[in-house]
Structure 1
Amino acid sequence: MIISSTANPRMKHIRALATRQEREKAQQFFIEGIRIVGEAVQMGADIETLIYAPSLLKSHFALELVHEQQERGISCLEVSSEVFRSLSTKDGPQGIGAVVHQRWEMLEQVTPQQNDFWVALDAAQDPGNIGTILRTSDAVGCSGLILLDHSADPYDSGALRASMGAVFSQRLIKATFDDFILWKQRHMLSVIGTSDAASTDYRTTTYHRPVVLLMGSEREGLSPFQQSICDLMIQIPMVGRSDSLNLAVATGIVLYEIFYQTRT
């Protein structure tokens, strides 16, 4: 039966997932669009419900995707174009979306392997930056992303768009900075931090895995205390008038240097 009312309780729940509070309460998030839904299916994401609007769904691949999920026993809700547009944040919705269960790991249960390569972000506030860092982390083969203290939500719609599906390939961990210190010490991990005041150029040091790249917030960077727990502080040279780089850009620059030096 097609759902044609925007007041339908299940549709109300999906719209409520636009808020972080509801996402954390339900431990779910909503994605829309052929590419990201296809990526979720291919990566084995835990899909709660697939939502589709036949009048908007023109892609043969997307129609096959719906059919395959129906065959697998996934709940698939057919909705009117009006209802789907009420769920969508896009100007031209493609007529397919999904409610997906969030996937988190506990830091104390993670045992770093010899070739591991992690990114840790302290109090990063821009979901777009988190999504972009996830995308870059996936590109260089990172083990995952550790979000410390009060970081933005990687399941925010802005982060999901920027990640281009990498949210499904990267391991995600939430922890306090104190827990991060204990984890570093327990496993004797090398932690690299960044600061414009550091004396070491990021290209002149030698990196070895396992390693964690620790980045501070967009506004404050790493505090003196956070810098003190790093095994090495590095800086990215700048010669223009700007005194800082975007967090995702700076993270990407260092990630690729580590990647180039340590890939096998």
Structure 2
Amino acid sequence: MSDRRDAHGRDDRRPAIAAPGSVKQITSLTNPIVKDIRGLALKKHREETGLFLGEGLKLVTDALEEGWPVHTILFAAATRGQEAVMRAAATVHARGGMVLDVSEQVLGKITRRDNPQMVVGVFRQKLTPLAEVRPREGDIWVALEQVRDPGNLGTIVRTADSVGAKGVILVGETCDPFSMEAVRATMGSLFHVPLVRTGRDAFLAWAKTSGARLVGTHLKATADYRSVASTAPTVLVMGNEQQGLSDALAEACAVRVKIPMWGKADSLNLAVATGVMLYELRRVEIGSV
């Protein structure tokens, strides 16, 4: 990314890809626009630009249907003329985004895949302030404390979407939900599920006044996980992959439950455990369908 200054002498962090409402054809792997987009694989570049990458026509279409701010769309020359691809490109262009007609080699370089998706989007990051989260009757939110694996995070976002959860709150030092690995794992649910980032102390302070019931899983819990179904506003609190919930968050939970193990494994994958809990929390509604 080039070092530019704005009218006030401040460093202008907007990358070379910031050229709204334009259409370009690119085949060179050394093109500066390609270099800037490739840089979004790095967390530092994502933080500087406020952008991230998403792969696949379905994912781009989901973003457009949700009105998500799409900065750039790239499509392989081989898909030129395909109705769905051209419709997505036209929508991005109409909204002031850049449209890039590129070679498959360029897409492979950007996505770091030998067989890349034929459509890639560059999106603006979007987070919901914790103060705007006000759980209501029947609402379920998921709070993840220091989740480290982007695949787990993305899968949990997708699962939250599937059960109609209202959003996912990231507590403490979590992995980046806008990394390529996390975005891939969401399968487009990232655009349907609000994300919140907050610190542990801020979350605990919010929880005291939110009116929501906090439910957490804990190895020392004695209550069965099948006892949590309710229509009360609920926040499912899940801990780190290795250590589980911190003592502070475990103590804040009004309900602590345990998922039993019948085999020789002593724990479940975080995303699997979260899925089990989310569907159990929805059992009241599911049973009435």
Could you tell me how far apart the structure 1 residues matched to 2:116 and 2:67 are?
24
Could you tell me how far apart the structure 2 residues matched to 1:110 and 1:128 are?
25
Counterpart amino acid of 2:220?
A
The answer to whether the aligner puts 1:46 opposite 2:69 as a matched pair is: yes
The answer to whether the aligner puts 1:123 opposite 2:164 as a matched pair is: no
> Per the alignment, in what secondary structure is the counterpart of residue 105 of structure 1?
coil
Q: Could you tell me which residue of structure 1 aligns to residue 15 of structure 2?
A: none
Identity of aligned residues (%): 37
Counterpart amino acid of 1:21?
K
Q: Could you tell me which residue of structure 1 aligns to residue 19 of structure 2?
A: none
105-114 vs 249-258, greater mean Cα deviation: 105-114
Which of 105, 116, 126 lines up with 1:93 in the alignment? Answer: 116
Q: Could you tell me which residue of structure 1 aligns to residue 222 of structure 2?
A: 199
Contact residue 201 and residue 236 of structure 1 kept, 8 A = yes
> Per the alignment, in what secondary structure is the counterpart of residue 255 of structure 1?
helix
Where do 5+ consecutive residues of structure 2 fail to align?
Answer: 1-23
Deviation by residue 1:201-236 (Cα, 9 ceiling, x = unmatched): 011344332100000000000122221111010011
How many residues get paired? 264
Counterpart amino acid of 1:187?
S
> Per the alignment, in what secondary structure is the counterpart of residue 157 of structure 2?
helix
The answer to whether the aligner puts 1:30 opposite 2:53 as a matched pair is: yes
Give TM-score scaled by structure 2 length. 0.86
Q: Could you tell me which residue of structure 1 aligns to residue 250 of structure 2?
A: 227
The answer to whether the aligner puts 1:168 opposite 2:191 as a matched pair is: yes
Deviation by residue 1:167-223 (Cα, 9 ceiling, x = unmatched): 000000000011111111122321001012210001134433210000000000012
Give TM-score scaled by structure 1 length. 0.93
149-158 vs 170-179, greater mean Cα deviation: 149-158
Q: Could you tell me which residue of structure 2 aligns to residue 81 of structure 1?
A: 104
The answer to whether the aligner puts 1:66 opposite 2:110 as a matched pair is: no
Could you tell me how far apart the structure 2 residues matched to 1:239 and 1:81 are?
48
Counterpart amino acid of 1:46?
P
The answer to whether the aligner puts 1:179 opposite 2:179 as a matched pair is: no
Counterpart amino acid of 2:273?
A
Could you tell me how far apart the structure 2 residues matched to 1:29 and 1:230 are?
34
How far the C-alpha of 1:58 sits from its partner, in A, is 7.5
How far the C-alpha of 1:38 sits from its partner, in A, is 1.6
Contact residue 48 and residue 75 of structure 1 kept, 8 A = yes
